Structure 1
Amino acid sequence: MPNTTVSAAGGAMPAASQETNEATKLGSLIGALDALHKAQHLAELLYLAGEGLMRVDREVGEAVMTGVGALKDNLEEVDALLEELHERERGDAE
């Protein structure tokens, strides 16, 4: 009898298909982490631009830096959640 598992839809799914599915999820998670890290880098560049704007227009520079600071805080929260999910996925794969 072939090695199968039951899919969420209730049908039998070959084990190889399940492994492919898990690899795709893990690949998507790693892709999400990479995209998040790029966004964090861009936020840092925007923050530096805000610092530069402060020399020209203090109010605008402060507004940019405040907005980017809030964005960076949110990105850090998402990063922590994705890292936790990544750890769980690696634990499940073992």
Structure 2
Amino acid sequence: MTFLKRGLLASVFLLLLFSPVLAEEEAPKWPGVDETVVGKYAKELGREARDPYINTDQGDLLLFLFALAGTAGGFIIGYYWHKVFVAGKKDLEPRD
């Protein structure tokens, strides 16, 4: 490789390496719909924001709830799998 190719490759590597850092500094904070639209109308109607009953922002509670829902869904699908996909197949005639 020539010196020019090595320099170009090194500069592309450094640009890719530091681009997330540069992008994070320049990116402005965009508030969500809840904060801008819903919060605005709630304040106009006299309803202030309050903490949720179950705060899923603490620790791994949200991850635990998703895992629990996936486990429950897996058991339900596993229980009905035989009824839906296997039990009725014996009565059908094979296709040619």
Q: Calculate the TM-score normalised by the size of structure 1.
A: 0.34
| Structure showing greater Rg | 2
Higher relative contact order (CA 8 A, sep 6+): 1
**Greater strand proportion:** 1
Q: Calculate the TM-score normalised by the size of structure 2.
A: 0.34
